[in-house]
């Protein structure tokens, strides 16, 4: 087998932080690789290095591409034959507010740009519709991309990645945000692509998300290769980190009388871009209850959490009451009592700031620190970092962090105000199982202290033990509302 990409003693630094160190590795024709490791070990940087999105740091090794019988250091000619799906790509649309049609996102894959800057050819338009049909998402192509659910958007980006028939498909945390049906469809597409000669290079925290076509694995730890070989050599038992116990904290705002619901939604319809997304929602969250919000991609889970958080409002005729206060519509007051973790919030955190700044910004509910910080706030933020063994991220520029590391900081950002209620939209997305277990342990501790949890997920197995209630949405309507153990 001839080599396609060679890395020889390559290191990558960013903002004087060593992300990858002394990497030597070869991608040969016919191989499909999985890149494994915990949060912050360098997986995403490794994928970008292989694709040619970033270069080795000066005087830190050599990267070679084999293109049409020639060997070169430039990725030109190789990069164009790759497709990529990553959380960072999805975030770029949200961050830049590129609310273009989903079909335009797919067609942008022909030009390796996130935004469609030129008119595609007739045959490119036909190919785009063919790929969309193969993924079963024809109903999405005329929708605004930013109106899609996380899972729907991921499927559109997968269509974008394969529309130009790449020879190498790079998948960074592919399974994140996909319900079971979407996951199975996508895996079948990936297997078919691999069977027809497209090579796969993927990363994941969840072994179940690995395509069966994977032939080799590479494991990273602290930016170094600590294991690699054929898939058959992959350990079947994952390494287990310690599960740290956390002391209970009392919410800064006591909830309300047990007789008054924390949240009461009545006859609520929610429209987005003129389309009815939630319909006839009637739901109460009582003191002491912790809820799971379940449903397939596009069922309205994220929209429901945004309704509770005040980012969206019910249409005329519907109402939402928070903490027994019918006038509880002041967004800043809501932010002081309700913490929120979501993919949208993560997308907005692109500018240079430290990990400590991210946590402190939870006091104001802002992106970045808007003004002077009190000593009490600084101490509280540092205590959260210390409790979670994350002091080493306090002074790090968040632009050097992994997607998972930033997600952890955003969870602490939501918790720093000791909220009366915590809304969590796929909070473990991008987190390895060790960190995920610690997060679940912490959420259970918060629930014991009186913080109400509302937790949206596709994976029932990742719910905190404190969750005992379930609301299931289907096509924007409540399909079930009751005890979790009785949920269908």
The domain at 3-233 falls in which architecture? 3-Layer(aba) Sandwich (3.40)
Predicted confidence at residue 224, as pLDDT, reads 96
Predicted confidence at residue 291, as pLDDT, reads 97
Residue 206 pLDDT exceeds 60: yes
Residue 243 pLDDT exceeds 50: no
* Same fold across 3-233 and 263-486: yes
For residues 402-426, one letter each, b for 16 or more C-beta atoms within 10 angstroms of the residue's C-beta and e for the rest, the string is bbbbbbbbbbbbbbbbbbbbbbbbb
Structure tokens at 26: 């070869």
Predicted confidence at residue 357, as pLDDT, reads 95
pLDDT in tens, 108-149: 999 999 999 999 999 999 999 999 998 888 999 999 998 887
| Band of pLDDT at residue 159, cut at 50, 70 and 90 | very high
User: What is the Cα 107 distance to its own chain's centre?
Assistant: 23
Q: Which residues contact 305 (CB under 8 A, 6 or more apart)?
A: 293, 340, 342, 423, 425, 454, 456
Q: Confirm if 455 and 484 have CB atoms less than 8 A apart.
A: no
Compute the mean pLDDT over every residue in the chain, rounded to the nearest whole number.
88
Helix or strand holding residue 437 (H, E)? helix 433-449
Domain ranges in the chain are: 3-233, 263-486
Q: Between residues 467 and 439, which one has the greater pLDDT?
A: 467
Q: Confirm if 120 and 107 have CB atoms less than 8 A apart.
A: yes
Predicted confidence at residue 327, as pLDDT, reads 52
| Band of pLDDT at residue 237, cut at 50, 70 and 90 | very low
CATH superfamily for domain 263-486: P-loop containing nucleotide triphosphate hydrolases (3.40.50.300)
Q: Confirm if 36 and 220 have CB atoms less than 8 A apart.
A: yes
CA distance 420 to 380: 17
The predicted model gives 5-9 an average pLDDT of: 97
Structure tokens at 87: 């959380």
Q: Read off the pTM.
A: 0.80
Helix or strand holding residue 445 (H, E)? helix 433-449
pLDDT in tens, 389-412: 889 999 999 988 887 788 889 989
Predicted confidence at residue 149, as pLDDT, reads 76
């Amino acid at each position: 087998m001839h080599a396609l990409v060679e890395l020889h003693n390559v290191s990558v630094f960013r903002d004087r932080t060593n992300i990858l160190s002394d990497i030597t590795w070869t991608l040969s024709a016919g191989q499909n690789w999985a890149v494994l490791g915990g949060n912050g070990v360098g997986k995403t940087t490794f994928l970008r290095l292989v694709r040619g999105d970033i270069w080795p740091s000066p005087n830190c090794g050599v990267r070679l591409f084999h293109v049409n019988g020639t060997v070169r250091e430039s990725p030109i000619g190789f990069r164009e034959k790759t497709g990529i799906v990553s959380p960072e790509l999805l975030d770029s649309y949200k961050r830049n507010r590129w609310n273009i049609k989903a079909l335009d996102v797919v067609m942008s894959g022909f030009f390796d740009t996130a935004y469609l800057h030129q008119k595609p050819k007739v045959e490119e338009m036909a190919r785009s519709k063919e790929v969309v049909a193969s993924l079963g998402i024809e109903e999405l192509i005329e929708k605004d991309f930013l109106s899609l659910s996380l899972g729907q958007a991921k499927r559109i980006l997968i269509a974008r990645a394969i529309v130009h028939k790449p020879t190498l498909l790079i998948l960074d945390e592919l399974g994140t945000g996909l319900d079971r049906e979407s996951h199975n469809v996508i895996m079948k597409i990936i297997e078919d692509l691999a069977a027809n000669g497209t090579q796969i290079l993927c990363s994941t925290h969840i072994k179940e998300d690995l395509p069966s076509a994977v032939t080799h694995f590479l494991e990273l730890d602290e930016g170094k290769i600590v294991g690699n070989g054929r898939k058959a050599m992959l350990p079947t038992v994952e390494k287990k980190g310690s599960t740290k116990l956390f002391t209970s904290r009392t919410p800064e705002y006591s909830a309300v009388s047990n007789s008054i619901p924390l949240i009461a939604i009545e006859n609520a319809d929610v429209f987005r871009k003129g389309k009815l997304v939630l319909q006839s929602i009637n739901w109460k969250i009582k003191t002491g209850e912790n809820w799971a919000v379940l449903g397939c991609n596009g069922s309205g889970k994220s929209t429901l959490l945004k309704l509770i958080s005040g980012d969206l409002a019910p249409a005329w005729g519907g109402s939402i009451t928070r903490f027994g206060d019918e006038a509880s519509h002041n967004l800043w007051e809501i932010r002081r009592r309700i913490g929120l973790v979501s993919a949208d919030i993560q997308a907005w955190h692109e500018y240079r700031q430290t990990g400590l700044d991210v946590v402190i910004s939870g006091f104001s509910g802002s992106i970045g620190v808007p003004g002077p910080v009190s000593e009490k706030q600084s101490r509280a933020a540092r205590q959260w970092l210390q409790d979670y063994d994350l002091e080493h991220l306090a002074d790090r520029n968040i632009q050097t962090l992994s997607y998972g590391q930033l997600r952890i900081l955003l969870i602490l950002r939501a918790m720093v105000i000791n909220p009366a209620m915590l809304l969590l939209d796929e909070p473990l997305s991008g987190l390895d199982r060790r960190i995920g277990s610690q997060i679940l342990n912490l959420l259970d501790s918060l629930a014991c202290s009186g913080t109400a949890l509302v937790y949206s997920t596709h994976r029932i197995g990742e719910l905190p033990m404190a969750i005992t209630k379930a609301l299931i949405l289907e096509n924007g309507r409540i399909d079930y509302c009751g005890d979790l153990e009785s949920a269908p």
